[in-house]
Amino acid sequence: MSDLLAKLDARTLKAGGLIKQREKDIFVARIRVAAGNIDADKMIKAAELAKKYGRGFCHFTFQQSIEIPWVKLEDFDSFRRDLDAAGLSLANCGPKVRAITACSGCTINPYGVVDAAGLAAKADERFFGVETPHKFKIAYAGCPIGCPNPQGNDLGFHGMVEPELHADLCNGCSLCVTLCNSRGNGALKMSEETQLPERDLEKCIYCGECIVGCPTEAWVAKRVGHAVYVGGKHGRFPRWADRVADFVSDEETFELIERVVQWYREHGKRGERIGYTIDRLGLEKFRREVCGDRFTTAHTWNARGDRPVLESEVARE
Amino acid sequence: MSNEKTVVSLLDLRGVCCPMNWVKTKLALEDLESGQQLEVIIDDGEPIRNVPRSVKEEGHKLLKVSPIGEHFRLLIERN
C-alpha cells in the first residue's frame, strides 16, 4: 500500500476531505457543499459515485456536506478523476475554515430577512480552506430563529430587522401583539388610547414576527442586518457563542469574517477553538481589537445573547 | 343580522393542526359572499402564525384577533 500512497496526488491528501474509516484502507470521501445547496445534476453525479466507489449510499454531514463512505484507497486516483469530471470537489477537515453553512434564507423562507444561502455561498468562495489554529465553522441564518445554529458556530450570523409602524395602514387587529407575545419578546402592546400597537424599544429583539404576520402590511422593515456571534461550538465541551455585534450589513459580514479569522490566526494557540482563545484573553480584548467602535450591539444582551437586559433589571440589582 | 357584513359563520378549529385548519378556513370562506365575515377559533403556536398569513396571501381581510384562553378568535372578511 505504501506504493499506492506514494503515487497519490499529495494535494488530495493534504487538502483533507478523505477520512479514514474503522476499516483498513477504507475512507469516507467528503464532498464540498456550500450553503447547503447543491445543483441537482451534481447531486445525481455524487449518487453515481457512491454506487461506483462506495456501497450505494450517501451520508449528510452535520455541516451540510455529502459523504460517500466505503471508498477504497486503491481507487483514490480514479475517484478523484471522476469527481473532477463531475464538477465536484472534496470538502476539508483539519484546522481550516470549513464549508460554510446556511438555511434557505429570505429567498425561500417567509421568516427570512437576509439572503443567508446566497451570502454563505459567497463567503465560502472567499474563505473556505483558510488555515486557522483549529477548525473554524461559519453559519449564516436568515432570521433570529437561527436554524443553522449561529450560536453553536465559531462565527455565526442571523438576520435581524427593525420594524416600523405605518399607522395609517393599521386596522388595529392586534395580531402583531399576539405574535410578539408568543414568538417574540413581548415588546408590543395595544394602546388603549389610539387602538394601535406600540413597540417597547427596550424589549424588541428585531425578529420581524410583526412584519411577517401583519395582515395589512402596516409593519414594515426600517432596517435590516445581521447579528454576529463568535466562539460557539458543540462537541464534548460545548460553548455558547458571545453576541458581539448587531445590524451588520451583508458586505460587512465578509469583512468581519476576515477580521475574526485574522485575529484568531494571530492569537489562537494550535488546537484551540476561538471560543477558548476568547476565554483565555478576555472578550473585551476581542471586542476592542475586532469590533472596535464600528461594530456594536443594539442592546446590552444577556449572556445567551437572546434577550436584552432591561434597565429596570439593572436598577434592581 | 341587520348588517350584511355581520358574521355569517363560525368555525371552531381548536385542536386542528396546520395545514388542515387553513384548508377548512379556506373552504368556509369560499361559501361566503364577498364582504361577509367568518369567525374561526384556532390554537396558539403554529396555527396563529400560519393561518393569518394564508388569509392575507389569498387577499382576505383579517379584522380582529382576540385571545380567548389559550386560543385565538380571528374575524375574517372574505375578499
pLDDT at residue B5 in the model: 60
Instruction: Quickly list DSSP for A212-227.
Output: HH-TT--EEEEEEEEE
**CB neighbour class for A62 (10 Å; exposed up to 12, middle 13-18, buried from 19):** exposed
Report the pLDDT value the prediction gives residue A1, as an integer from 0 to 100.
Answer: 47
Cis (ω within 30 of 0) for the bond into B19? Answer: yes
Q: Are residues B56 and A173, on separate chains, in Cβ contact within 8 Å? A: no
Nearest by Cα to A141 from A171, A113, A169 = A113
CATH of the domain at B51: 3.30.110.40
B2 inside domain:
no
pLDDT grade for A312, boundaries at 50, 70 and 90: confident
Do residue B48 and residue A110 have CB atoms under 8 angstroms apart? no
Residues A54-81, mean pLDDT to the nearest whole number: 95
The predicted pLDDT at position A7 comes to 55
Nearest Cα of chain B lies from the Cα of A182 at a distance, in angstroms, of 7
- Contact flag A213-B67 (C-beta cutoff 8 Å): no
Looking at the structure of chain B, the number of domains it has is 1
pLDDT digits (tens, 9 = 90+) for A146-168: 999 999 999 999 999 999 999 99
- Which has more pLDDT, A4 or B75? B75
pLDDT given for residue B4 in this prediction: 53
Spell out which residues of chain B touch residue A216, defining contact as CB-CB under 8 Å.
Answer: 61
Kindly list the residues of chain B whose beta carbon comes within 8 Å of any beta carbon in chain A.
44-45, 48-49, 52-53, 55-56, 61-67, 72
What whole-number distance in Å separates Cα of residue A157 and Cα of residue A140?
A: 5
Instruction: Say what the pLDDT of residue A188 is.
Output: 98
CB-CB contact of B38 with B29 (8 Å)? yes
pLDDT at A110: 84
Beta-carbon contacts of residue A16 (< 8 Å; ≥ 6 apart): A30, A90, A91, A92, A93, A94, A96
| Alpha-carbon separation of residue A201 from A46, A170, A185, A308, B65 (angstroms) | 49, 19, 11, 10, 23
pLDDT of residue A6: 55
Tell if the CB–CB gap between B65 and A110 is shorter than 8 Å: no
Phi, psi of A131 (to 5 degrees): -75, 135
pLDDT at A191: 96
Flag whether B47 is in a domain: yes
Nearest CA in chain A to B57: A215
pLDDT confidence of residue A3:
57
Instruction: Enumerate residues 6+ apart whose C-beta is below 8 A from A211.
Output: A161, A163, A219, A220, A221
In a domain, B45, yes or no: yes
B18 flagged as catalytic: yes
Q: Do B62 and A215 touch (CB under 8 A)?
A: yes
User: Above pLDDT 70, what percent of chain A?
Assistant: 95
Bridge partners of residue A97, in order along the sequence: A136
Closest C-alpha to A159, from A251, A233, A250: A250
Mean pLDDT of A186-195: 96
Q: How confident is the model at residue B70 (pLDDT cuts 50, 70, 90)?
A: confident
User: Which residue in this structure is represented by grid cell 386560543?
Assistant: B71
Mean pLDDT along residues A225-234: 98
B-chain residue closest to A211, CA distance: B53
Question: Which CA distances in Å does A15 have to A12, A18, A32, A281?
Answer: 6, 9, 12, 31
Rounded CA-CA distance A297/B44 in Å is 32
pLDDT at A13 exceeding the cut of 90 = no
Q: In chain A, what are the domains?
A: 2-85 (3.90.480.20), 101-174+203-316 (3.30.413.10)
The stretch A243-253 carries a mean pLDDT of: 98
Q: How far does CA A190 lie from the centroid of its chain?
A: 35
Per-residue pLDDT at B1: 40
Question: A296-305 burial string, b = 16+ CB within 10 Å, else e?
Answer: ebbbebeeeb
ipTM of this predicted structure:
0.78
Q: Is A173 on the interface with B (CB under 8 A)?
A: yes
Q: Is B44 domain-assigned?
A: yes
CB–CB of A162/A226 below 8 Å?
no
Which position has the grid cell 389559550? B70
pLDDT digits (tens, 9 = 90+) for A102-159: 999 889 988 899 999 999 999 999 999 999 999 999 999 999 999 999 999 999 999 9
Determine contact, residues B42/B72, Cβ cutoff 8 Å.
yes
At A261, list the grid cell.
479569522
Asked whether the predicted pLDDT for residue A5 surpasses 80, the reply is: no
On whether residue B33 sits in a domain, the answer given is yes
pLDDT of residue A71 exceeding 80, the answer is: yes
Closest CA to A285 of A274, A301, A273, A298: A274
Position A314 scores a pLDDT of 76
Q: To the nearest whole number, what is the mean pLDDT of chain A?
A: 93
The mean pLDDT value for A174-202 works out to 95
The domain of B56 spans 7-77
Nearest CA-CA partner of A287 in A307, A305, A268, A263: A263
Q: Which of A179-183, A248-252, A312-316 has the lowest mean pLDDT?
A: A312-316
Q: Which range is least confidently modeled, A31-45, A151-165, A254-268, A302-316?
A: A302-316
